Each structure stands twice: as C-alpha cells, then as structure tokens.
Amino acid sequence: MTFPWAIKQLVSRAVPHQDNEKRKGPEKYPDWASYRLGIFICLNCSGTHRNLPEVSRVKSIRLDFWDDDLVEYMKCIGNNAAKAIYEKDVPIFYYRPKSSDCVVLKEQWIRAKYERREFTGDKSQPQIISNYGSHQGFLWKRGKENSQFLRRKFILSMDDYTLKYYNKEESKGPKAVIFVKDLNALFQPEKIRHNHGLQLTCLKDEHTRNIFVYHEEAKEIVHWYNAIRAVRFSYLKTAFPTATDLELLPWITRNYLKQGYMEKTGPMHREPFKKRWFVLDSQERRLLYFKCPLDATEKGSVFIGSKEHGYDVTNSLPKGARGNKWKCGITVVTPDRKFVFTCENERDLREWIEALNGVITRPMSPQDYTTEANVRRRR
Ligand SMILES: [Zn+2]
C-alpha cells in the first residue's frame, strides 16, 4: 500500500542530481530513493546503490511502500543536505561524471562518495588529495603493432610532469616519456572492448600518439584517471598562473565531440573513397582520421577554424564524386581546400554537421592560430 500524498511530497523533494538539467520530462526527477542515505536517485544509479547494501538501501518512489517515518526522514535529508556531507571536500580536479559517461566512472563515483566516504573531509580518512600527486603501477597496454595487451609499468610524476612507461626492465630506462603538457585521458570502453578501457593521447612530433590501456580493477583505473587529472591540473596552474580554477577545469581532460566512421576522398574529389575512423577533438580544433579506431597514429588531420576565417561545413557532395559506398555527403571548407566525406546514414550526417558546426561557430584563441599553422605546415 502507498499513500499518494506521501509520494507527492517525496517527488517534490526529488531534486535533479548530477547533470540532469539536460534531460526532459520525468527523467529530470529521479524515481528512486536510497532511504538509508535519504537521497533521490535515477534508475541507473539505483543499480549501483543496490550493490552497496552496507551503506544504501533502495526503494522506488512510486512502486514501493513508504511509511510516515521514512517519508519524514527523506524530507529532512534530501539531495542537497546529503551533498553537503558527502561532497564536502571533492578535490577540484576530481572528475564528476555526467549521465552520458561510462559505467565505471559513474559506479566508482558513487562508491567513492558513499561507500569509501572519500569526500566528507573527515580527517581520520586517509588524505585523498595527497594520494593523487604521483602514481605508479601496472596497466595492460595494447601493443602498437598487434592487438595484444601486455602488462607494463607506468609512472606518473608531479615532479617533472611526465608519464613514463617501461617495457620490461626498469633499469634500461623508460620505453616512452609522455609530457603531461600534451597528455589527455578519456574512457573508451566500447572501442577498447573492455569496461575499464582508457585511451591516453599525447603529441609526438606534432602527431597524435594513442595508447590504449586498462586495469582489471575499476577503482584502480578510475584512480589512474583522476591521478592524471590531478597532475594535469597542477601543470595547467603553473602554465597559466592568471587563469582561475574554473577556467582551467575544461582543459584538464577532454572527450571527443564525436567519433565514428566516414568515407573520405582525396584533394581532387575524384579519388576512390576510403573508409576511415574519424575523431573530432573540439578543444584542439582537429578532425583526425585513422585507418582503424585503435591505431596508434593518425593518417591525417584537418584543422577546423572558425567561420570568420573561411571555414564552413555543408551537407553536400560534389558532382564528380564517385566510388563512394555511402551517399550522405559532407563538405568541409577550409581556406586551403575542400574536404569531402560521406556518412552511412542521415542521422550520422546530422551529428557530424552539428559537431563540426560547434567548433566552426566558436571564435579562435591565440593558441588555435599556432595549431592551425602547425597543421598546415605539416600537410
Ligand atoms: Zn543517476
């Protein structure tokens, strides 16, 4: 038995959590509650909470029975009060997942917050922030030439802002030294085909270098991610001393605006189309293409400037185009040349155009002019 008035009261207290502002309708108001923590949660998060019976107990707001005492309890806590306790002391660099993020990030956020109580500011807890300064350990790294994952030692250092990895014997020195300045980290579970798959990217001689890793333990791979963010944030603060923390936040790590297959032709637009894997790095203003999604280095890249500087994107295919399997054409106009791509379907086409327009309509920063010059020089 449920009392409609009680449910009404509960629903009115169910403030949106995480980044629900983008959602519409009923999704905006979580339908589930942890009656132990006194918080309202969405269906997705309720699954994780169910796995933490020691700290959280889940009920549906609409389907389960709520007695008066429990309703009162929910009323006097609620998400804002719980946030003040459990998110009292979240390090600024620490990644707060969005609803679109991968499972491992969302699940570990809930565990860090409620199960491990990492952000309550409780001094008896181990000092979380100092743990993030530097980090080392083993990760499974995908081979550059083959698809085999091998166990490799990685060392992240705040002292010289580097991430190093070693092939076998540490004494022989690192196989690679990656500068945190050029380092990005993003979870790519589907591409890597592992729930904890993390993509690391850096620049080597103006080319992108992709490194694909994972760790068996969810907690550990998310720790790596946040450790990289901590070191990146520290680096950015030294590199841009006048910028505020909030201004630096989006630059710590970044996700791709869009990625997927398109076909591409050559500069004459008469060359045979080839299927390539594209990623749009919005902050770097680069459209990179690879032969395969897990390639270590890109085959090429297109700088995406702004409208004022002669860049444009249209859904059109030049008349002479031929040999394309896919029919939905995109033309990217740059001051040097037009790039012609084709998409598999209309939806993909719309998404690419929207993503590219997102970059083109954004004004260029002084740093972008340097990137543009580098990309042009290389071609
Ligand atoms: Zn949720």
Measure 43 CA to ligand 1 centroid, in angstroms: 7
Domain with 42 in it: 4-86
Measure 201 CA to ligand 1 centroid, in angstroms: 29
DSSP code of residue 365: P
- Provide the number of structural domains found in the chain: 3
What is the spatial distance between Cα 174 and Cα 132, in angstroms, rounded to a whole number? 22
Q: Does residue 283 have a pLDDT over 60?
A: yes
CB 108, CB 119: distance < 8 Å: no
pTM of the full structure: 0.89
What is the spatial distance between Cα 224 and Cα 227, in angstroms, rounded to a whole number? 5
pLDDT, tens digit, 9 for 90 and up, residues 193-211? 999 999 999 988 888 999 9
Residues 233 and 170 in one domain: yes
> Which of 251, 260, 229 is CA-nearest to residue 348?
260
Measure 99 CA to ligand 1 centroid, in angstroms: 6
pLDDT, tens digit, 9 for 90 and up, residues 6-25? 556 665 555 544 544 455 54
Helix (H, G, I), strand (E, B) or coil at 339: strand
Residues 245 and 298 in one domain: no
Measure 222 CA to ligand 1 centroid, in angstroms: 18
> Which of 69, 48, 91 is CA-nearest to residue 225?
91
Measure 18 CA to ligand 1 centroid, in angstroms: 7
pLDDT, tens digit, 9 for 90 and up, residues 48-104? 999 999 999 999 999 999 999 999 999 999 999 999 999 999 999 999 999 889 999
Residues 207 and 246 in one domain: yes
Measure 311 CA to ligand 1 centroid, in angstroms: 39
Residues 242 and 137 in one domain: yes
DSSP code of residue 200: E
Measure 103 CA to ligand 1 centroid, in angstroms: 11
For 109, half-sphere exposure in the C-beta direction (CA atoms, 13 angstrom radius) is 20
Strands laid side by side in the 32-34 sheet: 39-41, 32-34, 58-60
Q: Does residue 4 have a pLDDT over 70?
A: no
Residues 232 and 273 in one domain: no
Measure 263 CA to ligand 1 centroid, in angstroms: 37
**331/372: higher pLDDT:** 331
Q: What percent of the chain has pLDDT over 70?
A: 89
> Which of 201, 157, 160 is CA-nearest to residue 182?
201
